[in-house]
Amino acid sequence: MIRLLLMTLMLCLAAPAWAQVSVRLDFGRERFLLYESIIATVEINNYAASELRLVDEEATPWLRFEIMRPNAEHIETVGPGFLAGAATLASGQSAARAADLVAYYKVREPGKYRIRALVKVAGYSGTFASGQKVIEVVSGRQLVTKTLGVKDETGKETMRTYSVLEVLMDQQVWLYTRVEDAQAGHVYGVVPLGEWVTFSSPKVDADKDGNFHVLHQSQPRQYHYSVISPKATVVKRETFTNFNSVPDVKRTEDGHVKVVGGEAVGRSRSPQPPTSP
């Protein structure tokens, strides 16, 4: 009886403290391509009467992530891990932080991952946790691969492998380009190219500077043209139609690559994969 009363008293004392802070985790969608940026957005709300201080304490950051595989394997950090920067929340105030989990955690294999955001508030014991989210990382289906030599800033020649991959995203098929040095085992990044009409074939080539050019059909009469650098950054994006002729990519005698045919309708914005409902 006494033990039951003690447990009830402890719960009554603890409940107000935990109710003073809420942590919400969101990814926008549930499926990601391997090595694609996985942006975790964390929202912290202060329901306490006093302000809350969010500061790193010694080697422990105030915001961190718990990432687990279904087999209970714990995913470790890369380097020093994510640092969110100090913040102070007045009563009733909220703050949000975003982190790319691929950059700070060893999410390096296809499969499902169970993730929670953990927040440590100065002056409070314990940790405030978000609800658990489950995401899936997929390898995609490889359509095209091209390997070539490129020169870095020092003039040293290195190798780049460009791959075009297709991925099903919420009932839509998307194309991505992955840039890597396969010999060194280093992936520079994954770039979304946009929605893809699957009965067509992407057209690809590389120019004298090592940039990768991809032209793919995104709608029945629309094409997206993307130029990706050896460091997996976007050099150019344009949109073309095929009302009078079908666009294609051609390499010129001086080593440049350009679109021939079709009708240019201007630059296109970076495509964003569909979010989960």
Give the pLDDT band (50/70/90) at residue 19: low
Bridge partners (DSSP) of residue 81 are: none
Architecture of domain 16-137: Sandwich (2.60)
Mean pLDDT confidence for 153-164 = 89
Domain assignments of the chain as residue spans, ordered by start: 16-137, 140-267
Could you give the C-alpha distances from 29 to 60, 110, 137, 146, 277, in angstroms and in order?
29, 16, 11, 30, 8
70-97, pLDDT tens digit by residue?
Answer: 999 999 998 877 888 899 999 999 999 9
| pLDDT score at 71 | 92
pTM for the predicted model, two decimal places: 0.86
225-235, pLDDT tens digit by residue?
Answer: 999 999 999 99
